[in-house]
Structure 1
Amino acid sequence: MTTNKPNTGFWIIAVLALLWNLMGIYQYLLSTVLADSLTDMISAEELNIINNMPSWYSYVFAIAVFAGVLGCLFLLLRKKLAITLFGISLLALLIQMGYWLFGTEIMDILGPTSAIMPLIVIAVGIFLYFYSKGAAQKGWLR
């Protein structure tokens, strides 16, 4: 049976997803606009990697986080456009995180633990994409 009224879990997930993606925007700003403030937070090697990223990387990062936030807002508004935005965000974050892990020397510097957060981000992106598709199938999005 389908219903047009989302359950409480939907709203909790949507709000938590928005907070998660807002943290992503903070990370984006921290690594681009506010990069000077990172000098006290990370090693010189990590800072060197961030400062030498190709220009396209910051564009892909921006697409990932801003599409994610917009996806969350449309999820909260119960609009099917959330699915497309989460799909765009997921594609961008796969490119972004793939480059971070395999196109830089971060794994050499920090070891395997450097993959933990990127894998969590990818898992959340995958979850949000498929969750929004499921919400649409249940009639919660229009």
Structure 2
Amino acid sequence: MTTNTNKPAKSFWIIGVIALIWNAMGIDGYINQAYQTDRFKSMYTEEQLEIIFNLPSWVTAAFAIAVFSSVFACILLLMRKKIAKTFFLIGLLAVIVQTTYNIFMNPGKEMYGAMEYSMLIMIPIFSIFLFWYSKKCADDGILS
């Protein structure tokens, strides 16, 4: 077993912690949606909830894969493990699947507001950034 001697910059730790918090919020969102909590239901109209609770199972699975693999990737990134890149890629692919459904196939897309559209933009961008960043850190020898 080799020890990595490349010391990451402070920005590495800041990005890693922010990414972990962001993706942990994604897990919170997934759990609230999956368990249909009162907090989740209070954020939507009955019509929106009907659509959300009847999403195809593959979309819900993509949501779960995206958030759980990304949290795991963040932990691995903070542990400076190169395999973080693989888990960020899995999360990115799941985000692409979910975003594609939400943009092109979701029957409730006409009810989207500014928040939904901003998340449809932010989530893939953040996911792409984290994959790119983990790849860069691996290429720079920060991850081993």
Does TM, normalized by the shorter one, top 0.5?
Answer: yes
How many aligned residue pairs are there? Answer: 140
Alignment partners' CA distance in 1, 2:64 and 2:112: 24
Q: Paired residue for 2:31?
A: 29
Unaligned residue ranges in structure 1 (runs of 5+): none
Among 14, 37, 50, the residue aligned to 1:12 = 14
Is 1:48 the counterpart of 2:50? The answer is: yes
Is 1:137 the counterpart of 2:139? The answer is: yes
Among 58, 61, 68, the residue aligned to 1:59 = 61
Alignment partners' CA distance in 1, 2:49 and 2:82: 39
Q: Offset of 1:128 from its aligned partner?
A: 0.1
State whether residues 83 and 129 of structure 1, in contact with CA within 8 Å, keep that contact through their aligned partners in structure 2. Answer: yes
Query: Aligned to 2:133, what secondary structure does the other structure show?
Result: helix
User: 1:103-122 to 2 correspondence within 5 Å?
Assistant: 103-110=105-112, 114-122=116-124
Q: Offset of 1:129 from its aligned partner?
A: 0.1
Q: Deviations for 1:89-110, whole angstroms, at most 9, x for unmatched residues?
A: 0000110121122211232112
Q: Which moved more, 1:105-114 or 1:92-101?
A: 105-114
Q: Paired residue for 1:86?
A: 88
Alignment partners' CA distance in 1, 2:138 and 2:40: 40
Q: Offset of 1:114 from its aligned partner?
A: 2.9
The amino acid across from 2:17 in the alignment is V
Query: Aligned to 1:5, what secondary structure does the other structure show?
Result: coil
Q: Which moved more, 1:70-79 or 1:29-38?
A: 29-38
Q: Deviations for 1:66-102, whole angstroms, at most 9, x for unmatched residues?
A: 0000000000000000000000000001101211222
Q: CA RMSD in A?
A: 1.6
Unaligned residue ranges in structure 2 (runs of 5+): none
The amino acid across from 1:107 in the alignment is K
Q: Paired residue for 1:75?
A: 77
Name the TM-score, length of structure 1 as normaliser: 0.91
Give % identity. Answer: 44
Name the TM-score, length of structure 2 as normaliser: 0.90
The amino acid across from 2:68 in the alignment is F
